[in-house]
Chains A and B, each alone.
Chain A
Amino acid sequence: MAFDFDRSILGQVFDETDFPPITKDDILKFAEALGETNPLYTDEEAAAQGPYGGLVAPPTFVTRLRPQKMTPEHMPRFGKVGFDGGRDLESFTPVRPGDVLKMVSTIHDIYEKTGRSGSMYFIVLRNEITNQNGEKVAVVDHRIVQR
Chain B
Amino acid sequence: MARMIDLHLHSELSDDSRAPVEAYLKWLARKRDERPLDGIVLTEHRQFDSHSDYRQLEDKYGMLILKASEVETEYGHVLVYGVNDDMLKRFDFSNVRLRAQELIDEVAGMGGVAMPCHPGRPTIGLIEHYEHRPPLEGVVGVEALNGGSKKGENERVAELIDSYGYHAFGGSDAHLVSFVGICATEFEKNITNTEELVDALRTGGYRPVDFRVRRTPVQNNA
Residues of A near any B CB (own CB < 8 A): 3, 111-119, 122
Contact = CB atoms under 8 A, between A and B. Distances in A.
Given A114-B124, A117-B123, 14 more contacts: A111-B94, A112-B96, A113-B15, A113-B45, A113-B96, A114-B72, A114-B96, A114-B123, A115-B123, A115-B124, A116-B124, A117-B122, A118-B123, A122-B15
Contact of A116 (B15, B45, B46, B122): B122
B8 interface: no
Which secondary structure dominates chain B's binding surface?
loop
Contacts of B72: 113-114
B67 interface: no
Nearest to A112: B96
B141 to A, nearest CB: 22
Interface string B119-136: 001111000000000000
B122 A119 contact: no
B123 A116 contact: yes
Contacts, number: 26
Contacts of B45: 113
A119 B96 contact: yes
B146 to A, nearest CB: 12
Contacts of A111: 15, 46, 94
**Could you say which interface size class chain B belongs to?**
10 to 19
A116 B46 CA distance: 16
Contacts of B77: 114
B46 A113 contact: yes
A117 B128 CA distance: 13
A137 B72 CA distance: 37
A40 to B, nearest CB: 24
A113 B72 CA distance: 8
Interface string B52-83: 00000000000000000000100001000000
Interface string B1-28: 0000000000000010000000000000
A114 B15 CA distance: 13
Contacts of B15: 111, 113, 122
Contacts of A3: 96
12 contacts: A112-B96, A113-B15, A113-B45, A113-B46, A113-B72, A113-B96, A115-B124, A117-B122, A117-B123, A118-B123, A119-B96, A122-B15
Nearest to B73: A114
A87 B136 CA distance: 39
Contact of B121 (A112, A116, A119, A122): A116
Contacts of A115: 123-124
A118 B124 CA distance: 8
Contacts of A116: 121-124
Contacts of B124: 114-116
A120 to B, nearest CB: 10
Contacts of A119: 96
A118 B76 CA distance: 10
Interface in B80-120: 94, 96
Contacts of B123: 114-118
Query: Which of A3, A114, A122 has its CB near the most chain B CB atoms (within 10 A)?
Result: A114
